[in-house]
Amino acid sequence: MSCLQTAVQYAPLFDYRRWSSQLQRLNQQYTQNDPLPHLFIENFLDPEIATSISNEFPSADSEAWIQYKHHNENKLGLTKRELFAAGLGRVTDELNSPRFVHWLSNLTGISGLIADPSLEGGGLHQSSRGGFLNLHTDFSHHHYQKNWRRRVNLILYLNPDWHPEWGGSIELWDSAMEKCRAKYAPLLNCAMIFNTDEHCFHGFPEPLTCPEGVSRKSLAFYYYTVEQVGTLRPRSTDYRSRPQDGWMESALIWLDKQAVSLYSRAKVRFGFSDDLASRVLGVLSRRK
């Protein structure tokens, strides 16, 4: 084992002393940021750890990836924790740990947050050249835990040497979908934390122009609160068009959103995973 591997193995995965000492300031920034409560944190983890897990990221040609490829998005996802390399697994476990979730509750001001060990919809995400994610608000409830209400997203970016001209910056739009109010590049070891509700429109809608063999990589976590069943109506992912999108594109975004909503309801009712849909989308994608 090299000196670097040894250092990464025993280095603290999250510097609680450092970030806890700044909680009051971070919470103030979080709640005051426009257009919704959010925070973009640079140097989130130890730099050597961030570089190490970036190097562990699986290639896009692995059959384990879930194909999220339809009109409103073009990306890959991997939620199976048991398939993560060692470093990625350790970071995942830490950011889902009770200690970290307690820190996150203090940062966001949302009490009672819980993690999702199944990483439903989260985990590893990857988009290659041409990949995109249209603006949307997220699904409101866990598909398999009906009383879990989704409250906070954390996205850790793992892209060394990312060029701004390639695109891929996460955009935050106002609830009226009139203008992008904030935009952040997906740079290595930067974490984006934000409230997720029916007003939180975000995405990276322009197709990536990164070179072949380069991809936009991230590790995503979704946190929930436990609510009484029936107190809120579950909501599926709500994709929206931008002012500059023409009527045809807007219609296609809306139609695809209805298909996704139908799929989400079926998923909740029958309890199946995304694997079957992924295989179908993968076949269709290869035929194009």
- For the stretch 96-117, pLDDT in tens is 999 999 999 999 999 999 999 9
The pLDDT, as a whole number, for residue 1 is: 44
The pLDDT, as a whole number, for residue 5 is: 45
Alpha helices in 109-212 (DSSP H): none
The pLDDT, as a whole number, for residue 234 is: 81
**In this structure, which topology does domain 3-287 adopt according to CATH?**
Jelly Rolls (2.60.120)
The pLDDT, as a whole number, for residue 288 is: 44
Query: What pTM value is reported for the model?
Result: 0.89
The pLDDT, as a whole number, for residue 269 is: 65
pLDDT-flagged residues of the chain (< 50): 1-11, 280-288
**144's tokens:** 């398999």
